[in-house]
């Protein structure tokens, strides 16, 4: 009988001790076991096994090109003034410099000689077409203020370049220079006012001479 | 501009409307193309300001005034880039232009530094594609040329040229293909040698009675100099000596001098 009680007591004791051992760390009671001495040097205490999140960055939209359509009036020396229209494509290299390719077309009116002499025309194809490759510089960036609460960015630029003019049945080497005003309605859309002088040599009226052909245009451009 | 507050100067605000500009707005609406529509917000690249503050200009150039500052730690979105300027949108919706030097002091969402590609002398040496415009003198006539080139390696590239020749007595065009060899492509002033062949077409001016259109083959050798200017921009000068293989008894020799500028990609 006594040995039976002793066995029961011992079993109860064992169960209680094991229960305490199981809950000891749950309640934070009792001594913490010291971690085994690490053989590795300290430094990276935690070694995260998490893969670094790869972020695919969206590409930044570049808007360095500017395409524009223009129309205006061109005065062809000795041949009167007529409408001119054309297209331009510019690439903005830096905040100051841009390069531009330009094509345009106009019509030549009659010279005073042709009007006074009656019928005889100097040549038949009266269309003038030109192309030129130019270098421009935004010399005066600025703002204009419309009304009380609105400001628009502007640019006054100088531009010059080389090209060719097809006029009076020949291609003529042409130098052009001028200035323009860019009025940015938004950051991507602008209005232009341009004034340029196209210089080329012509001998259609007897003596060869360098002519100044002045062109004033307005246009609309879009950056892309 | 070292104040911490985010200040907006009213005169440069783009948000308020005015009856005065109704006509201009109408024009703007007409001019805006569908392609101009801004990308959805979630597609914009986001960075955080790491400098004490980020200065926003009203336009993409140094001359435009600073009208707004964004404080350190705030997040901004990059709307677009033009030359070395970035149009950014702050958390409060204000948009302005920030130069590259300041954008390089921002942090990515994961905390690393932002790097923006900027062309360097190294790109000048190693870039694959190049295109440019040159003009000069071709045996007494004016010449305007366009070219495009592809580098097989830093030393050797192949170029295609198209030129218009505008003289006192005749006009014409010329197309040619040449191989260019650069001995020291990593120099800022990089000399080169060139060898090529092509076709030249000449037609006498209409005021000259005699003469007929001719198309001949040409061969040329040349030397030149490529000079790295800035960013993707280079200057180029060259001399070429052409031999025109005419159908007559004698071949024609023409000397050409040209100068111009080009870009590399």
Residue A57 Cα distances to A28, A224, B45, B114, angstroms: 47, 21, 6, 11
Smallest CA–CA separation between B258 and chain A, in Å?
A: 13
Spell out the long-range contacts of B84-91 with Cβ–Cβ below 8 A and sequence spacing 24 or more: B84/A94, B84/A95, B84/B118, B84/B231, B85/A95, B85/B57, B85/B60, B85/B61, B86/A60, B87/A187, B87/B60, B88/B54, B88/B56, B89/B44, B90/B6, B90/B56
Can you give the pTM of this predicted structure? 0.73
Span B185-236, pLDDT tens digits: 989 999 999 999 999 998 887 666 567 788 999 999 999 999 998 878 899 9
Does residue B155 form part of some domain?
yes
Cα separation of B181 and B157, whole Å?
Answer: 7
Domain A65-223 CATH assignment equals 3.30.413.10: no
**Record: contact A143-B18, CB cut-off 8 A:** no
Write down the residue that tokens 């029961």 correspond to. A8
> What pLDDT score does A185 carry?
93
Alpha-carbon torsion A72, A76, A77, A80, what sign? negative
Q: Which of B90, B116, B142 is the last residue before a domain boundary?
A: B116
Among the residue ranges A89-98, B20-29, B49-58, B168-177, the one predicted with the least confidence is: B20-29
The rounded percent of chain A whose pLDDT value lies above 90 is: 49
Chain B residues whose CB is inside 8 A of the A56 CB are none
Q: Which of B81, B116, B151 is the last residue before a domain boundary?
A: B116
**Record: contact B82-A64, CB cut-off 8 A:** yes
Cα separation of B228 and B236, whole Å?
Answer: 9
**Residues B135 and B179 both lie in one domain:** yes
Smallest CA–CA separation between B49 and chain A, in Å?
A: 17
Q: How many CB atoms lie within 10 A of CB A26?
A: 7
Report how many Cβ contacts below 8 Å link chain A to chain B.
Answer: 151
**Residues B167 and B244 both lie in one domain:** yes
Q: How many domains, chain B?
A: 2
**Residues B162 and B248 both lie in one domain:** yes
**Residues B60 and B10 both lie in one domain:** yes
Angle at B250 between CA B244 and CA B256, to 5 degrees: 35
**pLDDT grade for B36, boundaries at 50, 70 and 90:** very low
B110 touches chain A (CB under 8 A): yes
**Residues B172 and B240 both lie in one domain:** yes
Smallest CA–CA separation between A115 and chain B, in Å?
A: 22
Residue A11 Cα distances to A15, B135, B164, angstroms: 6, 107, 110
- Of B68, B70, B114, which Cα lies nearest the Cα of B91? B70
| Tokens read off for B256 | 């050409």
For testing the chain A interface, which of B82, B165, B201 should be mutated: the one with the most A CBs within 10 Å?
B82
Note down the domain range covering B158: 122-264
Does residue B175 form part of some domain?
yes
Domain residue ranges of chain A, discontinuous segments joined by +: 1-32, 65-223
The rounded percent of chain A whose pLDDT value lies above 70 is: 77
**Residues B139 and B204 both lie in one domain:** yes
DSSP state of B42: G
- Of B108, B71, B75, B103, which Cα lies nearest the Cα of B89? B75
Span B69-121, pLDDT tens digits: 998 888 888 888 898 899 999 989 899 999 888 888 888 777 777 777 777 88
Closest residue in B to A61 (Cα–Cα) = B80
Write down the residue that tokens 């094509």 correspond to. A103
**Residues B105 and B129 both lie in one domain:** no
Q: Which of B86, B116, B146 is the last residue before a domain boundary?
A: B116
Cα separation of A83 and A70, whole Å?
Answer: 11
Helix H or strand E encompassing A116: helix A112-117
**Residues B106 and B130 both lie in one domain:** no
**Residues B159 and B216 both lie in one domain:** yes
Who among A58, A162, A223 is closest to B135 (CB)?
A162
Cα separation of B81 and B97, whole Å?
Answer: 9
Q: What is the CATH number of the domain that holds B233?
A: 2.40.160.20
Smallest CA–CA separation between A82 and chain B, in Å?
A: 24
Q: What is the CATH number of the domain that holds B87?
A: 2.30.30.40
Does residue B27 form part of some domain?
no
**Record: contact B14-A151, CB cut-off 8 A:** yes
**Residues B167 and B76 both lie in one domain:** no
**A100: Cα separation from own chain's centroid:** 14
């Amino acid at each position: 009988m006594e040995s039976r009680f002793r066995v029961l007591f011992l079993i109860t004791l064992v169960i209680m001790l094991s229960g305490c051992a199981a809950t000891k760390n749950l309640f934070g009671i009792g001594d913490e076991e010291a971690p085994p001495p690490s053989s590795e040097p300290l430094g990276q205490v935690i070694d995260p096994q998490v893969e670094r999140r790869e972020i695919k960055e969206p590409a930044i939209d570049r808007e360095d090109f500017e395409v524009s359509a223009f129309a205006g009036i061109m005065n062809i020396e000795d041949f009167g003034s007529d409408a001119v229209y054309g297209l331009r494509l510019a690439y903005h290299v830096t905040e100051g410099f841009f390069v531009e390719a330009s094509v345009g077309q106009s019509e030549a009116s009659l010279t005073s000689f042709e009007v006074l002499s009656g019928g005889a025309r100097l040549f038949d194809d009266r269309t003038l077409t030109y192309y030129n490759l130019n270098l421009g510089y935004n010399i005066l960036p600025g703002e204009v203020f419309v009304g009380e609460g609105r400001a628009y960015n502007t640019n006054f630029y100088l531009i010059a370049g080389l090209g060719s003019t097809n006029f009076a049945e020949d291609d003529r080497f042409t130098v052009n220079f001028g200035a323009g005003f860019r009025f940015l309605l938004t950051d991507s859309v602008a209005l232009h006012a341009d004034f340029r002088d196209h210089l080329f040599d012509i001998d259609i009226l007897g003596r060869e001479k360098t002519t100044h052909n002045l062109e004033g245009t307005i246009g609309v451009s879009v950056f892309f | 501009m070292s104040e911490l507050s985010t200040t907006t100067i009213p005169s440069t605000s783009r948000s308020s409307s005015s009856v005065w500009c109704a006509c201009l707005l109408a024009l703007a609406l007409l001019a805006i193309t569908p392609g101009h529509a801004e990308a959805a917000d979630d597609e914009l690249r986001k960075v955080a300001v790491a400098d004490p503050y980020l200065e926003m200009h009203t336009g993409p150039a140094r001359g435009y005034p600073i009208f707004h500052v964004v404080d350190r730690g705030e997040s901004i979105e990059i709307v677009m880039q033009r030359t070395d300027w970035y149009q950014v949108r702050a958390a409060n919706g204000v948009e302005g232009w920030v130069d590259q030097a300041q954008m390089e002091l921002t942090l990515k969402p994961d905390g690393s530094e932002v790097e923006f590609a900027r062309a360097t002398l190294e790109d000048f040496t190693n870039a694959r594609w190049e295109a440019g415009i040159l003009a000069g003198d071709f045996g007494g006539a004016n010449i305007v040329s366009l070219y495009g080139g592809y580098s097989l390696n830093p030393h050797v590239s192949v170029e295609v040229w198209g030129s218009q020749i505008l003289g006192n007595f005749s006009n014409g065009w010329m197309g040619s293909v040449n191989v260019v060899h650069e001995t020291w492509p990593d120099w800022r002033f990089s000399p080169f040698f060139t060898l090529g062949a092509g076709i030249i077409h000449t037609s006498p001016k209409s005021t000259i009675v005699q003469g007929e259109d001719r198309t001949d083959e040409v061969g040329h050798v040349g030397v030149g100099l490529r000079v790295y200017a800035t960013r993707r921009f280079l200057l180029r000068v060259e001399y070429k000596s052409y031999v025109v293989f005419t159908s007559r008894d004698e071949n024609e020799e023409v000397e050409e001098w040209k100068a111009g500028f080009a870009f590399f990609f």
